[in-house]
Structure 1
């Protein structure tokens, strides 16, 4: 069947400097100026004008301003416009094809196998063998039109171009695309030519692409902790991982994880494109240099709740669980000292979501402060650098007749 992994055609779409593009659409005067999007004291992304001048993603604001004094900075701490635009992109892709999976705000996988099969059949019936690739071919590899795998991927490149054109025509956004036989390879190849370009990967060039990754952590699916463990075993790049004895790897990482990772190192990935549907949870967080009093914690939680309740109102479903996450300051461990507690939302409050949102802020703050006190002894000094609130376990209203379009508005 077309679904069998050898015949799949997967497109990975990655929007160019997404936050910066959204800001340039909101304010067209920013278009031809070097522009950075700032969160706290970091430039989280910047447009290509700024990149030409030497500004890089995740640079400190100070360094960026030093490099480019005329850099325009826009505050990007309110994610609402990015989130809304992001769902519009996913919704638009869903009009072409039901199998669309979101990855963050600016990336989507689309399984176009079924559309490719239909077009391939039409081609064969019309007796036409001429089919033209859209965009680049990785490694400039020659296309063999006698090879149906090649023809399938070439048709996939045409569909990728149509998707990119539709996103530009309807939403004014540009992006890159990668076309390959699985999610891993399509994601890896999509950034070969940037911005606003696309690349197709033929199977014969797969090893070149994957072996060209300078570090094991560049392989999607191998996270920071796994990469660190592999490094202690002397595995730094893909070639090391391919050559590493399976038995030793299985002993270190467990059988299923070891096999999955070794398959990834050969460019093998049979994970399906899983439609994301509506968001599974709503969360918002705030990071800061220091928060060390209950009063401050309460204020910050209230601020987060206002934004979250707005988003939940628009969505139309009711959350049944709430979670609070904190990060305590640590001079040694910047990333991993987060702690969370969650609890069910009392039924009398659930009923009020979407109807009397302003009346539930106070009881929700009380619930979240109880969770907070389970993690922090407030009689002792504390130093927080992050607070995050998450509502999950979302369910439709009992009488709800909302269509799927509600997810994206």
Structure 2
């Protein structure tokens, strides 16, 4: 009896430490099956049914299920894949444009079914959808006397827009499984009703994705993003799973079966620190990072002696760690995730272009500059696809009617340019392999105004200038050595988007805003001028501007003089970058577009949508008049 009482008390103690989960929301997760291969198959239907691989550089980025049936796997070398499957069709996937375009079409369709306009893309092939409102509406309409002939309404205003379904059963798989004879009783539980309705909505949307667009998908249904994503991974491909959380232990049992690294939101570094503590050893990850967090389960971590949010906080405490990481991980171990599905926007929060060089790392200035030009060209082209819109010119403006180039304008522009690199470890001179480095080093600066020039400059001309005047100086701050960098990855990114008012938005509203912002402009004038002083017209940019076109990159790097003042300025900029990077969370969040440089304050100035120059709000009308009368 005494032992039983002790165990009961221990159970209560553990339960008291568990965080409380909120099951008020309904979240759907969609993962397109073999997305890259499916895009190519839809473009060329003759490929369907054949083993197909998509290559990037000398490895397979992905492959379809027909290829996987022969033993072909992602990240295999092309030569090895052909040995395993001689009939494998391999197509280059270097150009991501068709994949991005297809992803945007599918996302737009799914987005239209969230009444709260919350539809969030995770990469190119995954989407979260918050359908809480549409589910609540149909929950009120459900007729308990005619469950088999139920009708799901997709619109509040059009009662005929929707689909029929059988509400006596779930669509797809259910975890944990439910006896059909018990379902009628379970329908007395409001949460069960919401999840049942959501399963049929997910099934309907997946069917439409296949019939109307030609893409099969896997789906997950639950009450938060983490649970929905994990549920969707159980029965892949071309199936879906609804995770029930009707009993207190249902979600916990589900989470306990997952390895630490499988849980979204727990990155490789966090997983390694926790794993090392639980196993009481110092682990060394394999070159591909597959063993990081793969040796312990959520149950083993949760039930480890004295484990708690506070202990996790101490385990994860290191320079640059985000405060509260321990509590976040503790919540995830219990299936608790309060993060919202981001509200859908036609403007991305950032645009990122990268390339990897695993087979042959970059080491020379000529190789570096070639890649910087290529990445800059892709970045500028993508900016003009995603951020530039057309507009109808003012009928009274004859000059704009004659110049079709002026019919383009920026719907939004990025404020920040960021360069990130990852270097492979150099040989240590011993037979012991050096562990692979997976962290990236980054430097940022304001995006130069010329990158937004739509009037006179071609994509190639802007990219050439961006590579030489902005990306190369950023690279020099990351890698001061002249060569031998052993680069395995380069990423260029623009972020911190600012929405631009459309042409012709004038009148009392615009005037009131201008009057309101004039005072703020003068109060922050010093800060604005400091921004220009640090980053624009530096000696480095000046030297590159005059010498780059005719000189070798290596000669440029050697010839750029650095005064003590310049070195101090670069040291100051580097210190600021380190402070910003130190504030970044060490968790790998579900929100893939989170940016540490996000600025929540409203701007008191605005870039001209024609020439790209920054103009005070009160002067926008006069500046547009300047363009209308010609240069």
Structure 1 length-normalised TM: 0.90
Structure 1 pair 291–401 and aligned structure 2 pair: CA distance change class (3 A): farther
- Give the conservation status (yes or no) of the 8 Å contact 1:318–1:350: no
Structure 1 pair 375–108 and aligned structure 2 pair: CA distance change class (3 A): same
The alpha carbon displacement at 1:39 in A equals 1.4
The alpha carbon displacement at 1:192 in A equals 1.7
* Distance in 2 (alpha carbons) for counterparts of 1:269 and 1:198: 21
Match of 2:354 in 1: 285
Bigger shift: 66-75 or 311-320?
311-320
Q: Can you give the 5+ residue segments of structure 2 that lack an aligned partner in the other structure?
A: 1-20, 149-166, 280-295, 318-322, 389-411, 427-433, 506-631
- Give the conservation status (yes or no) of the 8 Å contact 2:111–2:344: no
Q: Secondary structure at the match of 1:96?
A: coil
283, 302, 314: which one pairs with 2:385? 314
Q: Secondary structure at the match of 2:83?
A: helix
Q: Secondary structure at the match of 1:153?
A: helix
- Give the conservation status (yes or no) of the 8 Å contact 1:319–1:350: no
Structure 1 pair 370–156 and aligned structure 2 pair: CA distance change class (3 A): same
* Distance in 2 (alpha carbons) for counterparts of 1:96 and 1:248: 42
87, 107, 118: which one pairs with 1:99? 118
- Give the conservation status (yes or no) of the 8 Å contact 1:129–1:145: no
Bigger shift: 235-244 or 380-389?
380-389
Match of 1:39 in 2: 56
Structure 1 pair 356–8 and aligned structure 2 pair: CA distance change class (3 A): same
The structure whose residues are more often strand, as a share, is 1
Match of 1:346 in 2: 448
Structure 1 pair 94–302 and aligned structure 2 pair: CA distance change class (3 A): same
The alpha carbon displacement at 1:25 in A equals 0.7
The answer to whether 1:196 aligns with 2:241 is no
- Give the conservation status (yes or no) of the 8 Å contact 2:120–2:344: yes
* Distance in 2 (alpha carbons) for counterparts of 1:121 and 1:401: 45
- Give the conservation status (yes or no) of the 8 Å contact 1:313–1:354: no
* Distance in 2 (alpha carbons) for counterparts of 1:148 and 1:62: 55
Structure 1 pair 292–233 and aligned structure 2 pair: CA distance change class (3 A): closer
Match of 2:365 in 1: 294
Q: Secondary structure at the match of 1:59?
A: coil
The alpha carbon displacement at 1:336 in A equals 3.1
* Distance in 1 (alpha carbons) for counterparts of 2:87 and 2:135: 47
Structure 1 pair 263–384 and aligned structure 2 pair: CA distance change class (3 A): closer
109, 128, 131: which one pairs with 1:109? 128
The alpha carbon displacement at 1:194 in A equals 1.9
* Residues 39-78 of structure 1 mapped to structure 2, 5 A cutoff: 39-78=56-95
Match of 2:159 in 1: none
Match of 2:502 in 1: 399
* Distance in 1 (alpha carbons) for counterparts of 2:435 and 2:119: 36
Q: Secondary structure at the match of 2:264?
A: coil
* Residues 125-144 of structure 1 mapped to structure 2, 5 A cutoff: 127-129=145-147, 131=167, 132-142=169-179, 143=183, 144=186
* Distance in 2 (alpha carbons) for counterparts of 1:110 and 1:328: 37
* Distance in 1 (alpha carbons) for counterparts of 2:435 and 2:344: 33
Bigger shift: 391-400 or 9-18?
391-400
The answer to whether 1:122 aligns with 2:224 is no
Size of the alignment, in residue pairs?
A: 396
Structure 1 pair 217–400 and aligned structure 2 pair: CA distance change class (3 A): farther
* Distance in 2 (alpha carbons) for counterparts of 1:64 and 1:357: 41
Structure 1 pair 120–179 and aligned structure 2 pair: CA distance change class (3 A): same
Q: Can you give the 5+ residue segments of structure 1 that lack an aligned partner in the other structure?
A: 403-409
User: Which structure has the greater CA radius of gyration?
Assistant: 2
Cα distance per residue 1:347-400 (max 9 Å; x no partner):
3x1440476233423321222222222233354544323222212233344535
Q: Secondary structure at the match of 1:186?
A: helix
Cα distance per residue 1:304-348 (max 9 Å; x no partner):
22222221112213333222222233143433353222222333x
Structure 1 pair 388–118 and aligned structure 2 pair: CA distance change class (3 A): same
Structure 1 pair 340–357 and aligned structure 2 pair: CA distance change class (3 A): farther
The alpha carbon displacement at 1:109 in A equals 0.9
* Residues 7-406 of structure 1 mapped to structure 2, 5 A cutoff: 7-97=24-114, 98-124=117-143, 127-129=145-147, 131=167, 132-142=169-179, 143=183, 144-203=186-245, 204=247, 205-213=250-258, 215-234=259-278, 236-244=296-304, 245=306, 246=308, 247-253=310-316, 256-277=324-345, 278-288=347-357, 289-315=360-386, 316=388, 317-331=412-426, 332-336=434-438, 338-347=440-449, 349-353=450-454, 356-358=457-459, 359-367=461-469, 368-377=471-480, 379=482, 381-399=484-502
Q: Secondary structure at the match of 2:278?
A: coil
Q: Secondary structure at the match of 2:121?
A: strand
* Distance in 1 (alpha carbons) for counterparts of 2:67 and 2:47: 11
* Distance in 2 (alpha carbons) for counterparts of 1:286 and 1:182: 33
CA RMSD, 1 decimal: 2.3
Structure 2 length-normalised TM: 0.59
Structure 1 pair 17–27 and aligned structure 2 pair: CA distance change class (3 A): same
